[in-house]
Amino acid sequence: MAAPRTVTGTLPATAAGAVTTPVPGATPEAVRAPGAATVAGAPSCTATTRLIPSCGVWWGIAPEVFSGAPVDQALHAAESRMGAAADVLHVYHRGSELFPTGAEIRLARDPARPRLLMINWKPSFEHTWAEIADGALDARITRLAGHLRRTFPERFFLTVHHEPENDVDDSAGSGMRATDYAAMFRHVVLRLREEGVKNAVMVMTYMGAPNWAAKRWFEDLYPGDDVVDWVAMDPYADDRVRDFDGLVNKRRKEYPDWPGFYRWMQARFPGKPVMVAEWGVFGRAEDPAFKRAFFESVRRQIKRYPQIKALLYFDSPQAPRGDTSFDTGSGAGRAFTELARDPYFRSTRVPRP
């Protein structure tokens, strides 16, 4: 395996090694969030047209994934369990499915608590990225665009084929090389825009693991600044991770030049907000209090990473590598509730439709 590319330039570090490059928050394009909270005597916070909160971090969740519960039931149950509402609802769609669904729209427009949608779409499992880039799914994209124009004019997050790293086939002619992914992502975004979809805030979602960053094709995945509004990672607390610092800046001794994903994003995308689009904590039989301690570390350490503007938990009793339910384990539920209610995640209200 090739060594990761070294990030060039100076990376000014804080006590945790986090880079502190600022991200534009409220700019002349900012829109007022009705009822926005006041933080430490500052003016009420705002969200820009790219959905960047001017202070604090969006709090979100993919609720009770793989439980089989309908999305509205799953979200309400998860919000009840954590004792707090979500700013962002993370949902998953594939193939020819039209989104958002009626239930997702109702949740987004809930008059008591409007929510942003983070929609995760894999356009096809039958076509290669190269085929999609060449127009194989244009009719599908046109149909989706029509649905969006008719049903959902609100701004929403959209990521296209998240975590592409482990789907790359670098062999010639595979249609699934990293450059094919970048071309596919660009084609989907530009086609949606041509079809009148102007409200999708585009997110490029990486796995957030150093072994994939070591691949020689890793940098070729990026589709371009003009079609990416946010960059995201999907890290999980495996047996190598002890706290939030280790989650967002995973290092491995096999790749000594890799600075960690957050540091890489700060150096590579200094002007873009960062989303932790999925994060989850697996229980440890030898340490029943691990989840509690981990959630407490998030509260202590999140402000060391000012470029992170959204944190979306992956809540699942049946995640592929274990149980990421936030309320299993000694004291975990209470610690997660305290985290969800922290003022840092309650700074900016979701704008009402």
- DSSP for 209-230 reads -HHHHTSTTGGGG---GGG-SE
Homologous superfamily of the 57-345 domain (CATH): Glycosidases (3.20.20.80)
CA 5 to centroid of chain Cα atoms = 24
142-146, 324-328, 345-349 — which is least confidently predicted? 345-349
DSSP lists the bridge partners of residue 314 as 62
Taking only the tens place, the pLDDT of each residue in 46-98 is 899 999 999 999 999 999 999 999 999 999 999 999 999 999 999 999 999 99
Q: What is the pLDDT of residue 285?
A: 86
Indicate the pLDDT class of residue 2, thresholds 50, 70 and 90. very low
Taking only the tens place, the pLDDT of each residue in 266-280 is 999 999 999 999 999
Indicate the pLDDT class of residue 352, thresholds 50, 70 and 90. confident
Mapping DSSP to helix (H, G, I), strand (E, B) and coil, where does residue 56 land? coil
- The Cα 171–Cα 181 span in angstroms is 14
pTM of structure: 0.88
Taking only the tens place, the pLDDT of each residue in 222-260 is 999 999 999 999 999 988 899 999 999 998 889 988 999
Q: What is the pLDDT of residue 155?
A: 97
CA 185 to centroid of chain Cα atoms = 16
What does the CA dihedral 349, 33, 225, 132 come to, rounded to 10 degrees? Answer: 70
DSSP lists the bridge partners of residue 59 as 311
Task: Give the residue extent of every domain in the chain.
Answer: 57-345
Q: Is the pLDDT of residue 13 over 50?
A: no
- The Cα 292–Cα 296 span in angstroms is 6
Q: Is the pLDDT of residue 265 over 90?
A: yes
DSSP lists the bridge partners of residue 16 as none
| Residues 6 or more apart whose Cβ sits within 8 Å of residue 248 | 208, 233, 235, 260, 261, 262, 276, 305, 308
For residue 259, is the peptide bond before it cis, meaning its omega torsion is within 30 degrees of 0? no
Q: Is the pLDDT of residue 39 over 50?
A: no
Mean of the per-residue pLDDT values for the chain? 88
